[in-house]
Amino acid sequence: MMKLIMTNSLMIMFILTIMVLILNLISKKTTIDREKSSPFECGFDPKTSSRLPFSLHFFLITIIFLIFDVELTILLPLIVSMKTSNLIMLSMFSCFFILILIFGLIHEWQEGALKWVN
């Protein structure tokens, strides 16, 4: 039984390999078209690089947004837990957490990370 399974799987692998090789030989283009391989810019060759430069400042603003977004998702369950937890401890934790957020925002503001135009 095992010999039959091995024989069948080897035959299937052999047939698949042959099919892939034949399809690769048939589907390949023989000529490379210059127009199709060059970047398209209104029918003209681009004079400069077609890639835009990476804006590090935009990346930093995105990271700051994601950090504050994640912190908001941490704060939202506090509203649900108000019914079941100690109100004094919950309010102390909430105030401490929001205070850390405010200090982080003030630090980013003083560093100039929130200014869009430098």
Q: Give CA 100 to chain center in angstroms.
A: 27
Residue 15 lies in a domain: no
Listing DSSP states for 68-106 in one string gives: HHHHHHHHHHHHHTTTTS-HHHHHHHHHHHHHHHHHHHH
Q: Write down the pTM of the prediction.
A: 0.45
Residue 85 lies in a domain: yes
Encode pLDDT of 60-94 as tens digits: 788 888 887 888 888 788 777 877 888 888 888 88
Where does 1-46 have alpha helices with state H?
2-27, 34-37
DSSP state of 34: H
Residue 58 neighbours by CB distance under 10 Å: 10
Q: At what angle do helices 87-111 and 56-80 cross, to 10 degrees?
A: 170
Encode pLDDT of 34-49 as tens digits: 666 666 656 555 566 6
Residue 4 lies in a domain: no
Domain extent, residue 61, equals 57-111
Half-sphere exposure of 67 (CA within 13 A, CB side): 12
Number of domains comprising the chain? 1
